[in-house]
């Protein structure tokens, strides 16, 4: 079967009434889950798995995949409206999306988020159709040294995420790296920093951590504010970005698509890293970098496009290599296995109808999401009209549900509360949360790849410079860190002399 015939058969499968309905249900549930803070697609897919036993494998995967990439759309809504990331990949959106809402521009922020998500998601599906096998072969060339160097490059992004003090940003990133070491050491099998707690043996969960730092600390900060919480006023006519918004967002949307997809392909990449990278790039090349963190629309358009492009790209290592690049797709891989389908190179040969049907449904699903999200934006904006004394308990309830529902463990709620208090204290001293999240997410990849590389090379650090891809990543990371550090030092010196 040639490529055109495969695509055509995929759309025939996706347009079957049952599959079309499951695609709609998947993206609708995904959007709803993304909107609700803390309730992620992983838990939702796990809950839905038993329900899929009675339907065909292709319908099941279409439904579960729709929940995953649909959550990328919905995750930006609460980031913009209440400064709580509905998804980890929407953490960066809080920085400028929430400030746009505070400035009375919640509508354009949500609108450009929806359009950027559609463009990034569609781009990733189109590229997935054309390049699934070549990109899978390229990913096979990455070993532990390349992953270590890539994470080194990713960690240099803290210099761009810093809105104020770069020293404090680095300190927060190191704090995130330390938190990422909690739990069972995957190489030695020893427990680290668990203090005898069974909960901490699995490490600090990203949901309790994110909800604590971004949700609970936000509530505590607003409680101490003597002024009444501002109710944002956004007319229905202002929901769509205007000509100037599109002018400023076109470049970030294009770059976000190009950045997000390849990072999604790499195991350990995906929407989270893609959104951080996109934000860092836009801030670096912007003619108005001082606006970032204060409501720059580029800080919403780029990351939201990138995380949706990354979500599509993440299916390549799963479908082509059998390697789930994140927890959500690991659960989805379990769904494939339950239905008798082994993800990997043989999937395209033995089950082409599932692969091409799912890919075609992703294209339809992105169209559904755009049509679904724009009319509902006015509904989400109504949340802002709720007085904070009413909204605050709802935010806490969503955070409690999100923290508890992942493992049904009361200690996850305790962990969330602890990090909420820590986040509140750090906010009082002008420490930022985004570098901590970056360090926490990259930490396990960074440590594991480094130790595996030393095992391969018998302890020789030269392995990182004798491999071309690894050497390139390290050289770029060193250049970016040194150049940004020098720029920061020069600006600090100028301020001291004034």
User: Tens place of pLDDT for every residue, the chain, 498 residues?
Assistant: 566 787 888 888 889 899 999 999 988 888 877 776 555 676 567 667 767 777 888 888 888 888 888 877 777 777 777 676 666 667 788 888 888 887 877 778 888 888 888 888 888 888 877 776 665 556 556 778 887 887 787 777 666 556 567 778 888 888 888 888 888 887 777 888 877 788 788 778 776 777 777 677 777 776 766 444 444 444 444 667 778 888 888 888 899 888 888 877 765 556 677 888 888 888 888 888 778 878 788 888 888 888 888 888 888 777 776 666 666 776 777 778 777 787 766 677 778 788 888 888 888 888 888 887 777 766 655 654 556 666 677 767 777 776 776 677 888 888 888 888 888 888 888 887 777 877 887 788 788 888 888 888 888 888 888 888 888 888 888 887 787 777 767 766 666 665
Q: How far apart are CA 145 and CA 257, in angstroms?
A: 26
At residue 364's C-alpha, the angle toward residues 33 and 87, to 5°, is 25
- With beta carbons less than 8 A apart as the criterion, state whether 173 and 438 touch: yes
Comparing CA positions, the residue from 41, 156, 13 lying closest to residue 488 is 156
Chain centre to alpha carbon of residue 319: 20
Comparing CA positions, the residue from 136, 137, 21, 119 lying closest to residue 73 is 119
**What local confidence, expressed as pLDDT, does residue 275 receive?**
83
Comparing CA positions, the residue from 125, 259, 144, 205 lying closest to residue 399 is 205
The set of residues, in sequence order, having a beta carbon less than 8 Å from that of 334 and lying 6+ positions away, is 49
What is the Cα gyration radius of the chain? Answer: 22
**What local confidence, expressed as pLDDT, does residue 86 receive?**
62
**What local confidence, expressed as pLDDT, does residue 237 receive?**
47
Chain centre to alpha carbon of residue 427: 23
What 8-state DSSP symbol labels residue 199?
A: G
**What local confidence, expressed as pLDDT, does residue 111 receive?**
83
- With beta carbons less than 8 A apart as the criterion, state whether 124 and 118 touch: no
Tokens 């606006």 label which residue? Answer: 291
Q: How far apart are CA 488 and CA 159, in angstroms?
A: 9
> Domain range spanning residue 210?
3-497
> Residues 38, 374, 90, 448: is their CA dihedral positive or negative?
positive
Backbone dihedral angles phi then psi of residue 192, each to the nearest 5 degrees: -130, 130
**What local confidence, expressed as pLDDT, does residue 236 receive?**
40
Q: Please, which residues bridge with residue 184 across strands? A: 191
Comparing CA positions, the residue from 491, 496, 494, 473 lying closest to residue 153 is 473
The set of residues, in sequence order, having a beta carbon less than 8 Å from that of 206 and lying 6+ positions away, is 88, 440, 441
Per the rule left: phi > 0, alpha: psi between -120 and 50, beta: everything else, 56 is beta
**What local confidence, expressed as pLDDT, does residue 230 receive?**
44
**What local confidence, expressed as pLDDT, does residue 21 receive?**
92
> Residues 84, 86, 92, 96: is their CA dihedral positive or negative?
negative
Question: Hey, which bits of 143-281 come out as E strands?
Answer: 183-184, 191-192
- With beta carbons less than 8 A apart as the criterion, state whether 236 and 378 touch: yes
Cα dist from 482 to 277, 283, 438, 461, whole Å? 18, 17, 19, 21
| Total count of domains within the chain | 1
The set of residues, in sequence order, having a beta carbon less than 8 Å from that of 465 and lying 6+ positions away, is 471, 474
Backbone dihedral angles phi then psi of residue 195, each to the nearest 5 degrees: 55, 35
Chain centre to alpha carbon of residue 441: 10
- 370-384 residue pLDDT tens: 887 777 766 655 654
The DSSP H or E segment spanning 448 is helix 434-456
């Amino acid at each position: 079967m040639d490529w055109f015939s495969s695509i055509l058969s995929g759309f025939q499968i996706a347009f079957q009434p049952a599959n079309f309905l499951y695609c709609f249900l998947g993206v609708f549930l995904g959007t709803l889950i993304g909107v609700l803070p803390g309730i992620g697609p992983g838990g939702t897919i796990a809950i839905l798995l038993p329900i899929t036993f009675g339907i065909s494998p292709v319908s099941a995967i279409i439904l579960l995949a729709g929940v995953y990439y649909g959550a990328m759309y919905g995750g930006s809504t609460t980031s913009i409206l209440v400064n709580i990331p509905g998804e980890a990949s929407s953490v960066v959106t809080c920085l400028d999306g929430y400030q746009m809402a505070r400035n009375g521009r919640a509508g354009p922020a949500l609108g450009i988020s929806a359009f950027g998500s559609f463009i990034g998601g569609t781009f990733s599906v189109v590229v997935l159709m054309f390049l699934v096998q070549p990109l899978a072969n390229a990913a096979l060339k990455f070993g532990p040294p390349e992953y270590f160097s890539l994470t080194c490059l990713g960690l240099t992004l803290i210099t761009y995420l810093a809105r104020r003090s770069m020293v404090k940003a680095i300190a927060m990133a190191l704090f995130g790296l330390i938190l990422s070491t909690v739990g069972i050491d995957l190489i030695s099998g020893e427990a680290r920093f668990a203090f005898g707690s069974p909960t901490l043996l699995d490490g600090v969960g990203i949901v309790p951590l994110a909800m604590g730092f971004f949700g609970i600390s936000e509530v505590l900060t607003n409680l101490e504010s003597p002024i009444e919480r501002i109710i944002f006023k956004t007319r229905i006519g202002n929901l769509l970005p205007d000509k100037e918004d599109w002018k400023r967002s076109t470049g970030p949307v294009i770059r976000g698509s190009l950045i997000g997809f390849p990072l999604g392909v790499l195991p350990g990449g995906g929407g989270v890293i893609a959104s951080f990278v996109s934000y860092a790039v836009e801030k670096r090349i912007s003619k108005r970098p001082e606006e970032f963190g204060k409501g720059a629309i580029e800080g919403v358009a780029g990351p939201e496009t990138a995380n949706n492009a990354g979500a599509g790209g993440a299916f390549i290592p799963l479908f082509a290599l059998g390697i789930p690049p994140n927890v959500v797709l690991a659960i989805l891989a379990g769904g494939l296995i339950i239905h008798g389908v082994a993800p990997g190179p043989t999937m395209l040969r033995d089950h082409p109808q599932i692969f091409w049907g799912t890919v075609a449904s992703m294209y339809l699903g992105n169209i559904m999401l755009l049509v679904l999200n724009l009319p509902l934006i006015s509904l989400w904006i109504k949340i802002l009209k709720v007085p904070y004394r009413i909204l605050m308990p709802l935010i806490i309830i969503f955070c409690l549900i999100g923290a508890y529902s992942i493992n049904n463990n009361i200690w996850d709620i305790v962990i969330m509360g602890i990090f909420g208090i820590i986040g509140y204290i750090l906010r009082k001293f002008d420490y930022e949360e985004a570098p901590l999240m970056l360090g926490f997410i990259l930490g396990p990849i960074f440590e594991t790849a480094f130790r595996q590389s030393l095992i391969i090379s018998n302890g020789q650090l030269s392995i990182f410079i004798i491999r071309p891809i690894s050497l390139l990543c390290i050289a770029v990371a060193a250049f970016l860190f040194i150049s940004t550090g020098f720029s920061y030092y020069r600006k600090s010196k100028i301020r001291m002399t004034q």
